[in-house]
Amino acid sequence: MSIKLAPHHWPSRRQFAAGTLASLPFLSSTSLATDVRRTLLLTDPAFALHDPGRFCVERPSRMHAIDVALSGRAFDKLQRAAPNARDDAEQAILQVHAKAHFDRIKALAADTANLPYAIDGDTVLSRHSWGAVVGAVCAGLDAVDALFAGSGIKNAFCQVRPPGHHAEASRAMGFCFFSNVAIAARYARSKYGAERVAVVDFDVHHGNGTQEAFWSDGNSFYGSTHQMPLFPGTGAVSETGVGNIHNAPLRAGDGSSEFRAAMETRILPALDNFRPDIILLSAGFDAHEGDPVAQLRLSDADFA
């Protein structure tokens, strides 16, 4: 998850597509020389302890691969921190999720005699999962705090797991327990008065949980590119909420040209018109051409 305060002078779609609004691992070293010192990386080895099993594609090695990528010299000046343990994490989660859902996940995680526990075939709690689940939420809250603190931080990248964009108000699914990005967005509003919050999601799968959280909230924007048809079955163009949901589904085999066209003709014009106070990216990289889970063919440059 990447978080960015929106500038007072909203840049053009061309500038957004060129990568000026997010500091991601794929940016050139030239760009990083000017931006990386103002980017906060939030992560912790505890995220790798969440272990849904050897046959689950959402596995600890995802964290290790990113660690290797971010160990390069271009990233030496990143400001790095572990997320804080926060007393307000439950309160923040309950802005998006039902209390019964929170209590159930917490109780299942605490029942160590019956762990691992599979909520479904993808979504598995292990002995160390609760710390990772709550830590992923706390990373998003810390990122929002850092951006509003006046400390010079302009971007934050949350290298966390488990992911969150499939988690619905009362349902864990698709590797996800709590909706990390929606929780961070609601927190930005309640804590700092960010009136208009935007989430842009470029995972290969549609973020049904984020869409559900924002569905009736005209001051929250959700824009998604994703492969369709594919799990979880949502994300059609016709799903518009109160005019704040902007889905741009792609077909199996689509690559750079189709992805960029979807962003430049559907997602980014709507984002321009929305004029958000803060932008959050649901940064799922499984639309990459090298990922075997689905059939989109994006390159490093497309993500940048």
Catalytic residue chosen out of the listed positions 50, 165, 166, 226: 166
Question: What's the Cα-to-Cα distance from 31 to each of 23, 57, 71, rounded to whole Å?
Answer: 9, 32, 17
CB proximity list for 165: less than 8 A, separation 6 or greater: 176, 179, 180, 181, 182, 201, 203, 205, 207, 208, 209, 210, 282, 284
Q: In the chain, which ranges are E strands?
A: 2-5, 39-42, 79-81, 117-118, 124-125, 155-158, 197-201, 220-227, 245-250, 278-282
Burial 187-204 (b: 16+ CB within 10 A, else e): bbbeebebebbbbbbbbb
DSSP label of 186: H
Establish whether 166 is a catalytic residue.
yes
| Residues annotated as catalytic (active site), given as ranges | 166
